[in-house]
A and B are shown apart, each in its own frame.
Chain A
Amino acid sequence: MPPSARLLRLTQDPALEGAFIPTRPRPRLGFSLHAPGLLRGGLTHLDGPARVEAALRLLSEHPGQRAAWIEARLSAYPPAFVQRGVDLARLLFVEAKGYFPWAVQELARSQVFGILAVAAPLPDARSLRRLQLAAERAGCAVLLAAPLPGEAWPVRERLWCGWEGGEPRVRDAGGEGRTARAAGEGS
C-alpha cells in the first residue's frame, strides 16, 4: 500500500479523530481574472498571448504591494504599464543580463517584494526549485511570464492567458483537478 493511501486510511480512522491538524490553506492574492486568486509563496506560470497583460492586471489590483519586474534583457515598455494602472513608484525593474538566475533568486529571497514578475525564461528545474524555496520563505507571489524549461515540476500553478473580445482572460491550464484544488485552497 502506498504511503499516501496508508495516511488517508489513518486520517479516516474514527479512533484518531482530532489527532490530525488539518493543513492551513495557502494564502492567496486576489485576482479579478482568476477567482481562486494567485498563490503567495509559490510559482505561478502564466502562458499564452496575454500573459503580460494578466501580470499587469494583477499588479494594478495590488497597488500597495512592492513589486519587481525582472528580465535578462529588458523589453518591457513602462508607458504601457501606466496605461494599465500600474503604479511605477512601487515597481522596480531589473535587467539582469548574464546574472539572471542569481538576480531572480536574490529578489525573491529579500522578502522586500510581495509580487515578483519574471519575464524571461529560467534555464533549468534546479533554478526553479531554488526560486520556489525562496518564494515560500518570503511569502512572495512569483509570476513566471516566460516559457518554462523542460522539467518544471516546482511550478505549482499554470494559467493560460488569452484574449476574448479585446480583454485578457485567464483559465487554469492544469486540468480540472487542479482547478478544483486551487478553488478549495482559496481564502
Chain B
Amino acid sequence: MSVACLRFPAGLPKAGLRALGEACLRFSSQVALRGEEAVFVETGGSRLLYGEARLRAGLGALGRRFAGAAPARFGWGAHAGEALALARHGAEGTPRERWPLEALHAYASPFTPDEAVARAVDALCAGLRGLGLTDLGGFLALPERGWGGRFGADAALLRERLGGRLLMGWPRFEPDPRLEECAEFLEESEGAADPDPAAFVFLLQSLCSRLSARLRGRALRASGLRLRIGLERVRGVPDAADRVLGVELAVPVAEPTGLRRILGERLAADLAARPLGRRPVRLTVEATSTVPGFHPQRDAFDRREEEVESRDTLLARLAQRLGDDAVFYARIRARHGAEWTWTRRAPPATPAEEADLGRASLAARGAVPAVPRPTRLTRLPLPLLRAGDWLLYFGGSGKGRRWRALDWEGPERVDGLWWMASGAGAEGAPPVDRDYWRVRTEGGMDLWVFCRQGEEARAGALWLRGWWS
C-alpha cells in the first residue's frame, strides 16, 4: 500500500474538500477525507505507477485549484496514518524518529477526528514523557514485550500500527451527485450595473477549471452545461430573476479551456443581446448532463487522450457557433441521383462511434459509382441556355456566366427505381430520370450538366449541377 495525503493546516470548507476528493479520483479509485483537514489517495493499487514527485505535483496543482492560496502540506507513506503524520510533522525531511509524540494522534485515528481517541493518546503521551521520552524514536526503542500490560491495549495497538500492522479500514467516499461549481463576484464592483467582462472571464476560468477536474476524476465529459448568473437584490425594487443560459454540446467536453471558451462565447453573445441591468453577485456553472469519458488515470506515455480532447473541444466550439449540422463527417449512401448519394454525419463522440466511422469510410469505396464525379456541386440545379457552342447562365444581380463548350462526354443515364410508380422516389428522394454530361469548356473548367428525360429534354432544357475544379 502507498498513500498520499494532502493536508491543509488552516482547514478547508467541507464542500471544497469533497470536490477536491472527487477530483483526486483521477489518480486512484480509493480516496478518503479527514474532516476539513486532509484528503488521502491510495496509489498502491492504481493502474499506473506514480512517483512521489509526480504525485506531489499533481495533488499540489489540484489543491491550488480548490483551495486557492491556502497552504497545503504533502505526505506520502505506507499507510494513511504515516502519510498524515508526515504531512503534519515531517517538514524539511525530519526523520520519523525525531517526530514528536503528538504524531501518534495521526496513527491512532487518521480518517476521523475522535475526541475519545485523542484523550487516550494524550494520556499515553503524558505517561511516555514521564518516562523521559520526547519523540517517536524513543517510543519505538522501547522493548516490544509487555506493552499491553504496561501502557494498555491502545498503546499496544499504536505500536503495531507504527510498524505497519493492524491498519484501519478506509471509509467510503461518495462524491456529490450534482456537478456544480459556484463563485461570488468581488465586492469591489459594487454599484456597477454593467459588469466588467474581465470579472466574468476570471470567474469562469476558475469555475471551469474546478468543474473539469471533477469531471475528469469521475471519468465523465460534459454534454450539457448551465450557466447561472445571480443578480443583486435592491431594496424597494422587485427582484430580478437569475439569468440562466443552457448550452447543449454537440461533442462532449471535459477540458477546462474548452469549457471556458464555450461558456465565455455563449455568455458574451447573450450579454451583448440582453444586458444584465443589475450587478451580478454570483456565477454558477453546472454540468447538466454527462457522458462516459476516457479513463481517469492519464497515461503519461500516450498523448492520444490529449489529442482527442483537443479535437472534441474544437468541434464543440465550432458546433456551438456554427450550428450542429455545419461541422460533420460525410457518409456515402448507395443512391441514385447526385443529391442523395451522401449525408452529413455528426462527429463521433465515443471510441465506438469513431470505429464505426472508419468502417463506413471503407465501405464507401464500394458505394461510389465508377464514372468520375465532379468535385463541386451546386446547391440547386441551375438552368442553362444553349446557344450554339455557348452555355449561358443568367443568375440575376450580375451573376451571369457563359462557357464555350468544346466537347460533350456522355450521356450517363441515371434512372429512378423501376419497381416504384412513376413520380415517386426512394426514401423521400424525388424521382431521378436524367442524362448527365461532362462538358469540357474553353477555359479549362469541366461542367456537369444534365437534362431531364422526356418532354423537357426534347425542348432542349439543360441544368448545371456541378463542376470539376
Instruction: Please give the residue numbers on chain A whose beta carbons come within 8 Å of chain B beta carbons, in ascending order.
Output: 48-53, 56, 66, 73, 75-84, 87-97, 99, 102-103, 106-107, 110-112, 145, 162-163
A183 to B160, CA, bound (A): 75
Cross-chain contact of A97 among B326, B367, B368, B445 (Cβ < 8 A) = B326
Cross-chain contact of A93 among B329, B378, B466 (Cβ < 8 A) = B329
* CB-based nearest B residue for A55: B375
- Scoring B residues 299 to 330 as 1 if CB is less than 8 Å from chain A, else 0, what string do you get? 00000000100110011011001100011111
Cross-chain contact of B322 among A75, A87, A88, A99 (Cβ < 8 A) = A99
A76 touches B376 (CB 8 A): yes
A102 to B326, CA, bound (A): 14
B310 touches A112 (CB 8 A): yes
B169 within 8 A of A: no
A166 to B343, CA, bound (A): 29
A77 touches B368 (CB 8 A): no
Cross-chain contact of A80 among B310, B329, B365, B373 (Cβ < 8 A) = B373
Listed from nearest, the 6 A-B pairs whose CB atoms lie closest are A78-B330, A89-B361, A49-B444, A80-B373, A77-B377, A110-B314
A92 to B315, CA, bound (A): 10
Give, as a whole number of angstroms, the nearest-CB distance from B341 to chain A: 5
> Which residues of B have CB within 8 Å of A163?
444
Give 17 pairs: A residue, B residue, CB < 8 Å, sorted on A. Answer: A49-B445, A49-B469, A75-B376, A76-B375, A78-B342, A79-B338, A82-B367, A82-B368, A89-B357, A91-B329, A92-B329, A93-B327, A95-B322, A96-B326, A106-B318, A110-B314, A112-B314
Known: A75-B377, A94-B318, A106-B318. A81 touches B469 (CB 8 A): no
Cross-chain contact of A83 among B344, B358, B360, B373 (Cβ < 8 A) = B373
A56 to B372, CA, bound (A): 14
B90 within 8 A of A: no
Cross-chain contact of A92 among B321, B327, B376, B466 (Cβ < 8 A) = B327
A177 to B183, CA, bound (A): 60
A103 touches B364 (CB 8 A): no
B388 within 8 A of A: no
Total A-B pairs in contact (CB under 8 Å)? 119
Cross-chain contact of A78 among B327, B332, B365 (Cβ < 8 A) = B332
Instruction: Please give the residue numbers on chain B whose beta carbons come within 8 Å of chain A beta carbons, in ascending order.
Output: 307, 310-311, 314-315, 317-318, 321-322, 326-332, 338, 341-342, 344, 347, 357-358, 360-361, 364-365, 367-369, 372-379, 443-445, 466, 468-469
A163 to B445, CA, bound (A): 9
Q: A76-B377, A163-B444 are in contact. List 13 more A-B contacts (CB 8 A).
A: A50-B468, A53-B468, A82-B367, A83-B373, A89-B357, A91-B329, A92-B347, A94-B322, A94-B326, A95-B327, A103-B321, A112-B311, A162-B444
> Which residues of B have CB within 8 Å of A50?
444, 468-469
> Which residues of B have CB within 8 Å of A51?
469
* CB-based nearest B residue for A66: B311
Residue of B358, B361, B444 contacting most chain A CB atoms (<10 Å) = B361
Known: A89-B357, A92-B329, A95-B326. A56 touches B318 (CB 8 A): no
B332 touches A88 (CB 8 A): yes
> Which residues of B have CB within 8 Å of A52?
375-376, 468-469
> Which residues of A have CB within 8 Å of B374?
77, 80
A74 to B373, CA, bound (A): 16
Give, as a whole number of angstroms, the nearest-CB distance from B368 to chain A: 5
A89 touches B360 (CB 8 A): yes
A58 to B338, CA, bound (A): 24
* CB-based nearest A residue for B311: A112
> Which residues of B have CB within 8 Å of A76?
375-377
> Which residues of B have CB within 8 Å of A97?
322, 326
A66 to B377, CA, bound (A): 24
A187 to B327, CA, bound (A): 34
A49 to B445, CA, bound (A): 6
> Which residues of B have CB within 8 Å of A53?
375, 468-469
Residue of A56, A75, A99 contacting most chain B CB atoms (<10 Å) = A75
B365 touches A106 (CB 8 A): no
Known: A50-B469, A88-B361, A89-B361. A77 touches B376 (CB 8 A): yes
> Which residues of A have CB within 8 Å of B445?
49
Give, as a whole number of angstroms, the nearest-CB distance from B443 to chain A: 7
Known: A78-B342, A110-B311, A112-B311. A91 touches B330 (CB 8 A): yes
Residue of B331, B342, B357, B466 contacting most chain A CB atoms (<10 Å) = B342
A73 touches B364 (CB 8 A): no
* CB-based nearest B residue for A95: B326
> Which residues of B have CB within 8 Å of A107?
314, 318
B322 touches A106 (CB 8 A): no
B379 touches A73 (CB 8 A): yes
Give, as a whole number of angstroms, the nearest-CB distance from B361 to chain A: 4
> Which residues of B have CB within 8 Å of A94?
318, 322, 326-327
> Which residues of A have CB within 8 Å of B361?
87-90
A81 touches B330 (CB 8 A): yes
B377 touches A93 (CB 8 A): no
B317 touches A106 (CB 8 A): yes
Cross-chain contact of A96 among B311, B314, B322 (Cβ < 8 A) = B322
Give, as a whole number of angstroms, the nearest-CB distance from A136 to chain B: 18
Give, as a whole number of angstroms, the nearest-CB distance from B372 to chain A: 6
A95 to B361, CA, bound (A): 20
A83 touches B444 (CB 8 A): no
